[in-house]
Amino acid sequence: MSSTYGKIFKIATFGESHGAAIGVVVEGCPAGVTFDLAFIQQELDRRKPGQSRITTQRREADTVQVLSGVFEEKTTGTPISMVIWNEDQRSKDYSHIADQYRPSHADFTYQTKYGVRDYRGGGRSSARETAARVAAGALAKLVLADLGVTVQGYVSQVGKLKLDKEYHELDLSLTDSNAVRCPDPVMAQSMFDYIDAIRKEGDSIGGIVSCVLKGVPVGWGEPVFDKLHAELGKAMLSINAVKGFEYGSGFAGVELLGSEHNDAFYTDEDGRVRTRTNHSGGIQGGISNGEDIFFNVAFKPVATIMQEQESVNREGEKILVQGKGRHDPCVLPRAVPIVEAMAALVLVDFYLRDRTIRHK
Residue-wise pLDDT for 44-96, tens only, equals 999 987 666 777 666 677 899 999 999 999 999 999 999 999 886 555 556 66
Binding residues for NADP(+): 47, 53
* Gyration radius of the chain over CA positions: 21
Q: What is the Cα–Cα distance from 145 to 123, expressed in whole angstroms?
A: 34
Q: What is the Cα–Cα distance from 201 to 195, expressed in whole angstroms?
A: 10
Helix axes 130-145, 332-358, angle to 10 degrees: 50
With 0.75 as the threshold, say if the pTM is over it: yes
Residue-wise pLDDT for 247-302, tens only, equals 999 999 999 999 999 999 999 999 999 999 999 999 999 999 999 999 999 999 98
Question: Is residue 359 predicted with pLDDT exceeding 80?
Answer: no
Q: Kindly report the CA angle at 3 between 78 and 334, in degrees rounded to 5?
A: 95
Question: Is residue 26 predicted with pLDDT exceeding 80?
Answer: yes
- pLDDT at residue 55, as a whole number: 72
The CA-based diameter of the chain, rounded to the nearest angstrom, is: 70
Banded pLDDT at 172 (limits 50, 70, 90):
very high
- pLDDT at residue 358, as a whole number: 64
Binding residues: 47, 53, 124-126, 240-241, 285, 300-304, 326
H-helix or E-strand spanning residue 17: none
Average pLDDT (327-336) is: 91
CB-CB contact of 60 with 90 (8 Å): no
Residue-wise pLDDT for 207-236, tens only, equals 999 999 999 999 999 999 999 999 999 999
What backbone phi and psi angles, to 5 degrees, belong to 297? -125, 120
Banded pLDDT at 158 (limits 50, 70, 90):
very high
- pLDDT at residue 1, as a whole number: 61
Q: Is 29 helix (H, G, I), strand (E, B) or coil?
A: coil
Mean pLDDT computed over every residue of the chain = 91
Average pLDDT (122-126) is: 75
Q: What is the Cα–Cα distance from 135 to 307, expressed in whole angstroms?
A: 34
Average pLDDT (5-31) is: 94
C-alpha 286, offset from chain centre:
21
Binding residues for FMN: 124-126, 240-241, 285, 300-304, 326
- pLDDT at residue 121, as a whole number: 65
